[in-house]
Structure 1
Amino acid sequence: MKNHLLIATACLLGLLATTGASLPYPILPPLFAASTPNNLNHFLGLPPNLLFSIALLINPLGLLLGNAVMGPLSDRFGRRKLVLVTAAGAALGHVLTAGALAMESYPLFLAARFGTGLMEGQAPVVRALLADKLEGDLRNRALSWFNGALHLGWLFGPLMAGITISLGLSVPFYIAAGALLLGACLAFVALDRDKAHGHVGSWLSVARERHAFNLLRHEDLRLLFIVQLAYTCGVTGFYEFYPLWLVEIGHFDTRGISLVNVGLCGVMTLSAAVAGGPSRHDPLRRSSLYAVAVALAIACVALGNLWLGLAGIVFFGLPHAFYNATIQAWAADRFGSHGLGSVMGLLSTTFCFANIVMALGGAVLTLFDTRLILLTGAGLSAWAAWRMRVWRWDDPAPVVKAAIE
């Protein structure tokens, strides 16, 4: 298929996936922080902050498993088939989430969010599809544009939640389900059939034997995982808990959180549109500098007043977009021989694992002060920046190649 149609379809799938995934972020904090008890924020008599943290954790747990296996499965059974299955499955998950909210069933809500996360693990499949079909600077730019579409989904999801929440708590999730089904139909028409390749075996055996964590047997990929985990712990701690910080510090409601998110995701989307260009500086050096800027932005939220925190939230989108574009293109160039689906799956899985780690940490730290989890995230991102700097000098591989191709 032609390159522009491939890129447009990939970006649309990314937009629809994260639009649905980001819907709960402005909806849940006011719901669980509400003074009026309901079956969601007082389930089994547990503290609302603990229930909120578990609600945040369960979707990334599904994403963790999905991202770990979807890339390798696409290496074996084909990218197109996995894209269609995951899009339809995520739509079903949103329908179940809507039903859980309508019934105020906390267990069903957790089950629906887990299943949705499992099916939303298609990002490594789409990234591998782009890396398979494109080369050089066009591939780097396409990966950055795909990231921009993901960021734009994080804008549209909360914004749609803020606009439609007055129609009912379940309405945004029904809209997301319908959009994903339309996206699956478009992908069915637009994406070429691809041949299954790679290791022979059933879906279950490939998922068990070829999951992304198998790459950790290689020393360099273990180091990439450790550094990426530290950085993404800072990012996910910020994503998960800045809405709660807005509620506690600024008394924001769902619409207020959505507006702040518009600023953040707007900056990320615009930055991603230009972040994939060539550079004379090696990728690890640039990634280190971007990680320092991200750490500073998160620290502004944790340590500043409301206005400095708001500035930090919006500014965060700029270096984070450039970091993502740089590290993904570099990883594709450096480790592509291990299977692009698996490598992209490892990066995405690391992000999901970080979500779980920070949700668990937040479940404890927010019982004392929400700012503690933000400070922890800032410190971890700063450590990642330092470790990338050390890796750059110790690494004998030609790190400049990916930047100048």
Structure 2
Amino acid sequence: MNALKARLILATIMLVSLLGTAGIALPYPLLSPYFAADNSENIIQFWSLDPKILLGLTLASYPLGILIGSNIIGSLSDRYGRKPILIYSLSGSILGYMLTAITFEHELFLGFIFARFVTGFCEGNMAIARAIAVELEPYIERGRALSLLYSTIYGGWLIGPLCGGYLAPYGIDFAFYVASLAVAASLLMVIFILPGQPAQKPAQSSLWQEIISNHSATLLANREIRRFFIYYLVFTLGINAFYEFYPLWLVESHQFSSQEIAWATVGITSLMILLSATIANKIPEVLGEKTALLVGNLLFGGLILLTTLMHNQWIYITLSLTGAVIAVINLVFPAMLSRYFGHLGQGKVMGLQVSFFCFSNVLIALIGSIVSLISATTTMWLAASLIILSVFLFNPPKSLEISAGDQPIDPSIIKE
């Protein structure tokens, strides 16, 4: 590999991440207003459950799929190569989005939940993009590669909800068909542009044996990794409570429409993109990784609390500022994981991070839907409390506390 090829690979996975994330995020502004509406559609009359509970099940099914998929897909890419696993998973995503549209069109709630799960399972491939990015060092510095990758991921979170909000008049099923087209474009780019890469570790067993014995969760046998992920579990419970329920809060407390929710999301993601593409990777160099991470968490929790007290245009301002903080947090933590534990398999490590994020997503979707029966504001307060609590749970071992510019640690100091 040379510097030019490294830049080509990074540009490809950036564009794939942009289109893929846009497909994921496109339906988000549609679901909360739909389930909060007072109508007699069969899909929100399932078993006479409260629509908020059905919304929670809908929100949980997709990350449950990612939880299982990322736990498997990342480690499989270490064994069988990044490109082939990415091709298979993107193909599955296309089928999943089409099935989602069909089941929604026919008002089949259980089929809709299943289709969201299948789509999420295949979207577990986001771990592969992160693994490819950190492997471009020394041609592209790890922090810079992740920073640029996340800027395009945030771009997808901007484009997707905005398109979803304005596709609302055409129906939710139509939005899912559009999402399948976005992922199809990603698949073509991977096939024709992404260079083929050899497997990191040649497979010596069957596919099923690899899934059973080498999934990302096996890393939790490592004591040092567990200490990192205790913090990360609580933090992601908070951030996912925020992500999943601020649209419901906007509808319930301020009667926002799908288009207004989309523009609120634009504010958040615009600052994510701006910070990630410019100075996000410089902040931990100045403050230190640990300080940048924990101060970011405190600011994030405080901004959520402040948002619940805001009215009118001030809501857009405080919500947008959360995007700047998230950009720094989302850069620091995976960079630390990669540096400390990358020798155990970058795909496997990034898969574990995605798995934890999605496990907390499933858990908080169910818990949050119950809490939201009190009020959506209460769910926002829960999000802020969890994010602030995570600050006090971050306790990496002294042996792993190295500066941002240091080389990966000696594996021998990590105790199993």
Q: TM-score range by the shorter chain?
A: over 0.9
Q: Extract structure 1 runs of 4+ deviating beyond 6 A.
A: none
Task: Select between 373-382 and 74-83 the one with higher mean Cα deviation.
Answer: 373-382
AA partner of residue 59 (structure 1): Y
1:348 aligns with 2:354: yes
Pairing 1:212-223 to 2, within 5 Å after superposition:
212-223=216-227
C-alpha contact (below 8 Å) 1:40/1:106 kept by paired residues: yes
Q: TM-score, normalised by structure 1?
A: 0.94
Q: Gaps spanning 5+ residues in structure 2: where?
A: 409-416
Paired position in structure 2 for 1:121: 124
User: Structure 1 35/218 Cα, relative in aligned 2: closer, same or farther at 3 Å?
Assistant: same
Which of 278, 281, 289 is matched with 1:276 structurally?
A: 281
C-alpha contact (below 8 Å) 1:361/1:373 kept by paired residues: no
1:145 aligns with 2:148: yes
1:248 aligns with 2:252: yes
Q: Distance in 2 between matches of 1:377 and 1:40?
A: 28
CA-to-partner distance for each residue in 1:55-87, whole Å, 9 max, x for gaps? Answer: 100001001011111110101110001111111
Q: Distance in 2 between matches of 1:298 and 1:169?
A: 29
Shift in Å at residue 383 of structure 1?
Answer: 1.6
C-alpha contact (below 8 Å) 1:283/1:403 kept by paired residues: no
CA-to-partner distance for each residue in 1:132-184, whole Å, 9 max, x for gaps? Answer: 23237622111111111111111111111122222333222212211211221
Paired position in structure 1 for 2:268: 264
1:363 aligns with 2:369: yes
Q: Gaps spanning 5+ residues in structure 1: where?
A: none
Q: Distance in 2 between matches of 1:323 and 1:342?
A: 21
C-alpha contact (below 8 Å) 1:279/1:403 kept by paired residues: no
C-alpha contact (below 8 Å) 2:136/2:145 kept by paired residues: no
Paired position in structure 1 for 2:115: 112
Pairing 1:62-81 to 2, within 5 Å after superposition:
62-81=65-84
Paired position in structure 2 for 1:228: 232
Which of 305, 325, 343 is matched with 2:331 structurally?
A: 325
1:237 aligns with 2:236: no
User: Which SS does the other structure have where 1:147 is aligned?
Assistant: helix
AA partner of residue 140 (structure 1): G
Shift in Å at residue 305 of structure 1?
Answer: 4.3
AA partner of residue 333 (structure 1): R
Paired position in structure 2 for 1:337: 343
Which of 143, 159, 179 is matched with 1:156 structurally?
A: 159
Shift in Å at residue 404 of structure 1?
Answer: 9.5
Which of 299, 303, 317 is matched with 1:293 structurally?
A: 299
User: Structure 1 387/136 Cα, relative in aligned 2: closer, same or farther at 3 Å?
Assistant: farther
Paired position in structure 2 for 1:184: 187
C-alpha contact (below 8 Å) 2:238/2:382 kept by paired residues: yes
C-alpha contact (below 8 Å) 1:282/1:403 kept by paired residues: no
**RMSD of the alignment, in Å?**
1.9
User: Which SS does the other structure have where 1:81 is aligned?
Assistant: helix
User: Which SS does the other structure have where 1:40 is aligned?
Assistant: helix
AA partner of residue 22 (structure 2): T
Task: Select between 150-159 and 239-248 the one with higher mean Cα deviation.
Answer: 150-159
User: Structure 1 81/245 Cα, relative in aligned 2: closer, same or farther at 3 Å?
Assistant: same
User: Structure 1 293/404 Cα, relative in aligned 2: closer, same or farther at 3 Å?
Assistant: farther
